[in-house]
A and B are shown apart, each in its own frame.
Chain A
Amino acid sequence: MTAIEARDVALSFGETPALRGATVSVASGEIVAVMGPSGSGKSTLLHCLAGILVPDSGEIHFEGRRIDTLSETERSALRRDRFGFVFQFGQLVPELTAEENVALPLLLSGVKRGAALAQARPWFDRLGLTGLGRRRSGELSGGQAQRVALARGLVARPGVLFADEPTGALDSLTGEQVMELLVTSAREQGTTVVLVTHDARVAAYADRQVIVRDGKVNALVHS
């Protein structure tokens, strides 16, 4: 079953075309890496799939439902309730503790604070962050902060996790640990993952890789 797909999506920023008929389909539970050189349109494609950007033409479908025609409010609710996000720089809320950061998607969905924190806490042991729940983002290393961001992305059991260069700010070994946790956790939950990366070693963790070049998606053809 298809979880999310883009059909012939085009989007320009002013005069500059970013996507020129991008088509990609991701099956439920699949982990797909979107690769491509800088400026190829891979992050723009992720933003369109996630309902952050609305394409000029083409369609985006999530679980069989067209989402690019939804209102901003409806897309916002969809992002909050069904999608998870991990970005290059964790983008944790500095005023909140690590466990409050993890609980944030649940709190925003209306889960009561006690219940949200109770759901957030097991993630700390799971991701090797035992004892760090009360720390604020400034008191965490880059790798720890990114694991907190990963927990935040997955805590609400999203239908799709969108990860945009999730290891881009980490050293090689720390990035590897984050990818290992991302893949293991996503597979355990059956979460579909769209992973944007320019790093082939990160992309190698995915089930499948596609390449965005000049705003179009090329499936990789094995010999």
Chain B
Amino acid sequence: MSVPMTLLGLLEREPSHGYDLKRDYDTFFSRGKPLPFGQVYATLGRLARDGKIVVGEVEPGVGPERKRYVITERGATEVESWLTEPVEAEPNLQTVLFTKVVLALMLGRPAEEYLDVQRATHLRRMQELTEIKRSGNLVDTMLADHGLFHLEADLHWIDTTVARLDALRTMVAQR
């Protein structure tokens, strides 16, 4: 999660104080890891330095809480670019598992057993995420969904790999 881009996006919605930004960030994006105030203000400082936000009206009183931050045209353009650019599809996500499987076959070790253990681990995590969905709010549910669909895709890969193990074993043995 890109903290600077998220804070910038929140500021495009409306000018805000650091406190409000932290609250909104923690509500929607932090998922159990609240953003430290120090990081909020350090990030805002960098965004201001880079001309992506400016400090708007300073309200009476002292301390950073009194500053209201406003996004600039440059900042808004950056948010727009970030939102429209697709996230990297991470085609190498399975590299570690793939390497383990091939190495296991090369070493004559039980690759299928390793995959079974991996499957059990995935399913256990899916149980945990399902429990979060059952007891959480809509934001928790949507984030858990994202995790569940990714884990499900991994499981499809594991199942297909189990079905291909004999062929892969033959190929590895020929090298």
User: Which residues of A pack against B, CB within 8 Å?
Assistant: 37, 176, 180, 183, 200-201, 203-206, 209, 211, 218, 220-223
Contact = CB atoms under 8 A, between A and B. Distances in A.
5 contacts: A200-B122, A201-B148, A220-B120, A221-B120, A222-B120
Given A200-B155, A201-B126, A221-B120, 4 more contacts: A180-B134, A200-B122, A201-B148, A218-B116
Interface residues of B, number: 22
B120 A200 contact: no
A221 B112 CA distance: 12
Interface in B7-63: none
A200 B118 CA distance: 13
The prevalent SS among residues of B at the interface is helix
B123 A203 contact: yes
A200 B151 contact: yes
A220 B117 CA distance: 7
Given A220-B123, A222-B121, A204 B129 contact: yes
A79 B112 CA distance: 38
Of listed A203, A204, A218, A223, residue having the most chain B CB within 10 A: A204
A200 B117 contact: no
Nearest to A218: B116
Given A37-B159, A180-B134, A201 B152 contact: yes
A206 B130 CA distance: 10
B143 to A, nearest CB: 15
Interface in B131-168: 133-134, 148-149, 151-152, 155, 159, 163
Contacts of B129: 204
Leading 9 A-B pairs by shortest Cβ distance: A204-B126, A220-B120, A204-B130, A222-B120, A223-B117, A200-B155, A204-B127, A200-B152, A223-B121
